[in-house]
Amino acid sequence: MFFSENNYLALDMVVTVDIMQVLLGLLALAGIVFVVFLIVLLAKLSKTMGQISRLVEELDGPVTKTVDQLPELITKVDKTMADVNVLTESISQSVPEVLNDVETITGTVSSGVEAVGGAAETITENVTDFFKSSRDFASTAGTAAQIIGQIVGLITAFVPSSKKKKSSRRRRK
């Protein structure tokens, strides 16, 4: 401290800070923050591990039961696959035969349908021709029937009517 003439006390202070000490202080502060972060992280991790442990204990029984059933299940699947293999082989042999039979039946049915269609067409044409010609014939036949009827009427008018004959019935005993 220095005294001046006016009796004032003036303090001049010089503070020197070593950069190394500042860096060490910042490093210590970062270490403290990191330690707090690790403590929080470990607490959460511990809680999660407890939940996982309970979950594993709950699933232990069903998983063990399922694992114990796997050999039996594999045996059943093997038997099923063998049956499927036999069915597949049987189908691969019988399907071509069935397809050939279906093709034959389809051809036969097609021929039958064509034959029935042709027959129906022929019958239709014949019936049409018959009725067409019968109209012409009917008018001619009608005229002829009228003429015959008039002739019979004239004959009956001039010929005396004969007595009706009684028919006798024979009785069987």
Q: Is residue 152 part of a domain?
A: no
Percentage of the chain exceeding pLDDT 90: 25
> pLDDT for 16-70, tens place per residue?
878 999 999 999 999 999 999 999 999 999 999 999 999 999 999 988 998 899 8
Structure tokens at 102: 């279906």
Query: Which residue type, as a one-letter code, is found at position 34?
Result: F
Confidence band for 132, pLDDT divided at 50, 70 and 90: low
**Where in the sequence is the domain holding 127, given as residue range(s)?**
24-143
Confidence band for 155, pLDDT divided at 50, 70 and 90: confident
Q: Is residue 52 part of a domain?
A: yes
Q: Is residue 106 part of a domain?
A: yes
Q: Is residue 86 part of a domain?
A: yes
The structural domain count of the chain equals 1
Cβ(3)–Cβ(9) below 8 Å: yes
Residue 85 Cα distances to 71, 89, 97, 149, 152, angstroms: 21, 6, 19, 89, 92
Structure tokens at 50: 């407890």
Q: Is residue 16 part of a domain?
A: no
Q: Is residue 157 part of a domain?
A: no
Q: What is the pLDDT of residue 41?
A: 97
Q: Is residue 135 part of a domain?
A: yes
The C-alpha atoms of residue 59 and residue 51 are separated, in whole angstroms, by 12
Q: Is residue 4 part of a domain?
A: no
Confidence band for 167, pLDDT divided at 50, 70 and 90: very low
The C-alpha atoms of residue 82 and residue 87 are separated, in whole angstroms, by 9
Higher pLDDT, 121 or 81: 81
